Structure 1
Amino acid sequence: MALVQTPDPELGAPAPDFRLPATSGGHLSLAGCRGPKGLLVMFICNHCPYVKAILDRLLADCRDIQAAGVGVVAISSNDARAYPEDSFERMRELANTAGFPFPYLYDEDQSVARAYGAVCTPDFFGYDADLNLRFRGRLDAAHRAARQPGQARELVDAMVEIARTGTTVVPQYPSMGCSLKWKD
């Protein structure tokens, strides 16, 4: 497991388009995932200990983000041959078992992860209503530990502010997690 941090964001950059298979069936595009006030694109996977550690609070936070009018989508881009737990079938199982409130898409050829510049799991990209990047940062300061009472919900705070104003002043700290598992 290689630990990496996300690079500095290119705020204002447009969201790259995509069309990927969804664990719920069919295919979804960027347009089909956006909400009226923005979009959160997150790169996650099934096997990453960082994602596993935050999954319950990530699901709760995403529900709050969606309630603000922001669409949410999760994408797995890992090499499933090398990491079978990240296969499409296992993604479907996790989405159903955990009750994902957002689509979970499979980027088998890894082109979407490359287009976004994703480097780790989890990796969060927050877009405004015009699909321009306004936030790239971590879920919160707790990382793999439990969030403490009173601790900022950085991703939620940023995305709710983006939904309300089109931008955010929430500090953006790099996300940290396992490196994406690229194909040879």
Structure 2
Amino acid sequence: MAVSPPVCDFGWTAPDFALPGTDGKTHRLSDIRGPRGTLVMFICNHCPYVLAVRDRLIRDARDLQGLGIGVAAICSNDASAYPEDGIEGMRRVAEELDLPFPYLHDEDQSVARAYGAVCTPDFFGFDAGMGLQYRGRLDASRKQAGPPDLRRDLYEAMKQVAETGHGPAEQIPSMGCSIKWKDAA
């Protein structure tokens, strides 16, 4: 079932984290932070919504890094229920796709909970001061990639954040598979 996150809570401060990456290093939010903003993406390896836009997501991340936006992706799915979303599957995907950003594993799901992430993909775009400015979609794609000329909503919003410090007032939420939460103990 498709899930959409809530609207952007402008100015909400990004929670800090320290997570292991597919590169074998531990990454903190301060390591990822860009001089003109930061994009934290919650994705996974198996969601059809993520798979449909993976190439566009990588393209936009590279382009945003060129504008001074730091980028990281986090996988928070329950790897015991979805083994392909465990660290080994993440390493394989990061290598195969030559991801230009750290791909981080949130095994205990504490970071997803702290951010209020609800789906994959779920995008959190912050200004240089780490205040939330964008919580929208990548583009109008859904389970299948849309036409190549779709408006690049995420890219345009974060470009605006890099240039002005403010995200667009009107934002269309992302849509995707729900995060696969572990059973409560």
Amino acid at match of 2:70: G
Give the 3 Å change call, closer, same or farther, for CA 140–177 of structure 1 in structure 2. Answer: same
Amino acid at match of 1:19: A
Amino acid at match of 1:11: F
Quick check: 1:62–1:72 contact (8 Å CA) kept in 2?
Answer: yes
> Corresponding residue for 1:76?
75
> Corresponding residue for 1:16?
15
> Corresponding residue for 1:119?
118
Shift of 1:29: 0.2
Amino acid at match of 1:6: P
Task: Output one character per residue of 1:91-127: Cα deviation in whole Å (capped at 9) or x when no partner.
Answer: 0010010110000000000000000000000000000
Within 5 A, what are the aligned runs for 1:60-139? 60-139=59-138
Structure 1: gaps of 5 or more residues: none
After superposing on structure 2, the runs of 4+ consecutive aligned residues of structure 1 that deviate more than 2 Å are 142-151, 168-171
Task: Output one character per residue of 1:57-89: Cα deviation in whole Å (capped at 9) or x when no partner.
Answer: 110111111111000000000000000110101
Structure 2: gaps of 5 or more residues: none
SS at match of 2:80: coil
> Corresponding residue for 2:36?
37
Amino acid at match of 2:68: G
Within 5 A, what are the aligned runs for 1:45-64? 45-64=44-63
Shift of 1:152: 1.1
C-alpha distance in 1, partners of 2:135/2:177? 16
Quick check: 2:53–2:141 contact (8 Å CA) kept in 1?
Answer: no
C-alpha distance in 1, partners of 2:121/2:168? 22
Percent same amino acid at aligned positions?
59
Shift of 1:142: 2.3
| TM-score of the two chains, using structure 1 as the length reference | 0.96
Shift of 1:150: 4.0
C-alpha distance in 2, partners of 1:87/1:80? 5
C-alpha distance in 1, partners of 2:145/2:110? 33
* Number of equivalenced pairs: 183
